[in-house]
């Protein structure tokens, strides 16, 4: 998986702009074919107040491990402002920080997956930030299986994401730390 694509995938939770109002629904419109999302837009907003920082370790096949820091810097009631940085394990910057605005509803929809490709179940996962009770979403597409562990008490990006292709793990992203203001 090219590093540029991975950066886009991982910042998808925190990039772009949209004007949709926040939703308190876990599901998209029933006719859209999407599985229920793990959180409402309001739950994500409450869990990611300005000053919240989430640090992830990213490992992918054939590429040195990196650290992605996601810093929620603003909230106007509809949109979050987020600064994302990518460093090597020693803290050396690998790119310029990305500052973006995204509606809370758009952030919710990043966890919207096609019903026919998605299964979900309760699971526990251990990551650098601790042990979490989660809803595990497994999303299948051809020979790729993506496993998203959404913590029951930590609304936002998955605390663990694993991507397997042909049965081999090609990418892993795990939450290492969360700090709040």
Q: pLDDT tier at 155 (50, 70, 90 boundaries)?
A: very high
Q: Which pLDDT does position 19 carry in this prediction?
A: 32
d(CA 159, CA 155): 9
Looking at the domain that runs over 3-179, which CATH code has it been given? 2.40.360
Residue 150 has pLDDT above 50, yes or no: yes
pLDDT one-digit tens code per residue, 4-47? 333 334 443 433 333 333 444 555 544 478 999 999 999 999 99
What's the residue count for the chain?
181
Q: What mean pLDDT do residues 64-74 have?
A: 98
Spans of all domains in the chain:
3-179
Q: pLDDT tier at 116 (50, 70, 90 boundaries)?
A: very high
Q: What mean pLDDT do residues 81-109 have?
A: 97
Q: Which pLDDT does position 85 carry in this prediction?
A: 98
Q: Which pLDDT does position 9 carry in this prediction?
A: 40
Percent of the chain scoring above 90 in pLDDT: 81
Which helix H or strand E contains 41, and what residues bound it? helix 41-47
DSSP codes, 79-96: EEEEEEEEEETT--B-S-
Q: Which pLDDT does position 30 carry in this prediction?
A: 42
Q: What mean pLDDT do residues 79-98 have?
A: 97
d(CA 100, CA 16): 6
- Name the phi and psi angles at 36, rounded to 5: -60, 145
User: Token match 């919710």: residue?
Assistant: 108
Cβ–Cβ under 8 Å, residues 160 and 140: no
Distance separating the N- and C-terminal Cα atoms of the chain: 35
């Amino acid at each position: 998986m090219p590093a540029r694509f991975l950066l886009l995938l991982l910042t998808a939770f925190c990039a772009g702009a949209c004007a949709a109002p926040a939703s308190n629904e876990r599901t998209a419109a029933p006719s859209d074919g999407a599985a229920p999302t793990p959180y409402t837009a309001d739950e994500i907003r409450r869990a990611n107040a300005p000053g919240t920082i989430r640090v992830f370790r990213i490992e992918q096949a054939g590429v040195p491990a990196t650290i992605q820091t996601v810093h929620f810097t603003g909230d106007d009631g509809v949109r979050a402002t987020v600064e994302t940085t990518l460093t090597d394990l020693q803290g050396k910057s690998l790119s310029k920080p990305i500052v973006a605005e995204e509606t809370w509803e758009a952030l919710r929809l990043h966890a919207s997956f096609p019903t026919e490709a998605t299964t979900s179940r309760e699971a526990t996962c251990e990551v650098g930030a601790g042990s979490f009770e989660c809803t595990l979403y497994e999303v299948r597409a051809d020979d790729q299986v993506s496993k998203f562990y959404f913590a029951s008490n930590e609304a936002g990006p998955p605390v663990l994401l694993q991507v397997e292709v042909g049965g081999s793990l090609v990418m892993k992203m795990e939450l290492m730390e969360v700090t709040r203001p």
